[in-house]
Structure 1
């Protein structure tokens, strides 16, 4: 059995791009339709950005939802970028997180959004630490991620790799992607080490049970502008 790794995440999404597109567009993911989709749209709108980057954009729903903002969608999976392009006009690019961290995106934006797309370890560390290089001064990195309580990690609240699962999804999915669990303290440390100042933290909850469904972190870039 291969060890859990960032590459296995990419391998899984390469295989599951079609069923994922169907699940997103049909509203099959309950937590998204109940709370988290609107929560990330609201988080971006509160910043009133003129420009934005959707990092790990998938089939492009968030880019389409943020009408009025000049958005660029980026994903490492070519099939997802193709789905995004077919769904409507927009600036979509095939790039890895390592490419973005290395400056290949070659742009600055008022917001960079990572909506449930920061699943790995080394690639995520590198991307977040490079965030100030692709944000405008005063711009913000907005991350929505699995809430530690929703992740069922209360019994083992330590950073580490977790096996993935497609439980609750259709039989069309296969080879679930692993993901790297981070405690709240680890997320805050990563933001701080990356030169981002945490200016907002929200916990979108199930409208009936009150159970937190996700964690939203907003880190502001207060560094001078980086050269492209």
Structure 2
């Protein structure tokens, strides 16, 4: 799979922006500066992971590590990986099992482990990088395990722009901390998300739409998936 030149620029811009924004992001998350996370989406992903009583969880794109610590507090063996060393340093300082690993490291098999639950919580931001990562993840999953993705709800995140796949830019307006760099991210429609998972061999078990308690509108969308190739083998 080859990327268009603009895709390559945006993909490299994602990682660069997170290197620059690591401190501001850590401050924002730990101070509860994102209302939707504080009110609903943090608990939504935690509940989704815990409901099948997993023994081992891998949080891909773990950021400053709050989910790994929350799972560890529930007795779950959780590991967090992220491509940004500063985020991993900050995560490790707060306690937990964290490792520096990019999506490219995962794609090329450099992460030697298997777990019964994989999580991407607001971490699938690119186009080709997301597609390649999602396609390779069954190799990290124990038989019968689950892959849980929580991301922005396309209908809400679309705003006034056309409801079509394409690159967008996060300018961090309304966040409590000062973010030094804008961050590119790839917008996908709901049908596009589902098509990507299906094309990568995943079986979609459930879609959830956690609602903001104040507005009654979706605060996120969550996909709960299992390895569809196991169905064929069985």
Question: TM-score when scaled to structure 1?
Answer: 0.93
CA distances 1:185-227 after superposition (whole Å, capped 9, x unpaired): 1111111112111111100111122110100001112445xxx
User: 2:10 maps to what in 1?
Assistant: 5
Distance 1:207 1:170, change over 3 A: closer
Cα separation, 2, equivalents of 1:193 and 1:117: 20
Gaps of 5+ in 1: none
User: 1:196 maps to what in 2?
Assistant: 202
Question: TM-score when scaled to structure 2?
Answer: 0.91
Cα separation, 1, equivalents of 2:155 and 2:128: 23
Q: Once the 2 structures are TM-superposed, how far is the Cα of residue 56 of structure 1 from its aligned partner?
A: 0.3
* 1:96 aligns to 2:110 (yes or no): no
Gaps of 5+ in 2: none
User: 2:30 maps to what in 1?
Assistant: 25
* 1:166 aligns to 2:169 (yes or no): no
Distance 1:71 1:215, change over 3 A: same
Q: 2:78 aligns with which of 63, 68, 71?
A: 71
> As a proportion of its length, which structure holds more helix?
2
Q: Once the 2 structures are TM-superposed, how far is the Cα of residue 153 of structure 1 from its aligned partner?
A: 4.5
Cα separation, 2, equivalents of 1:66 and 1:10: 26
* 1:52 aligns to 2:61 (yes or no): no
User: 1:113 maps to what in 2?
Assistant: 119
Specify the SS of the correspondent of 2:156.
Answer: coil
Cα separation, 1, equivalents of 2:205 and 2:192: 17
Specify the SS of the correspondent of 1:5.
Answer: helix
Cα separation, 2, equivalents of 1:27 and 1:171: 11
Q: How many residues align?
A: 222
Runs of 4 or more off by more than 4 Å in structure 1? none
CA distances 1:133-174 after superposition (whole Å, capped 9, x unpaired): 111111111000000122034641111101221101145212
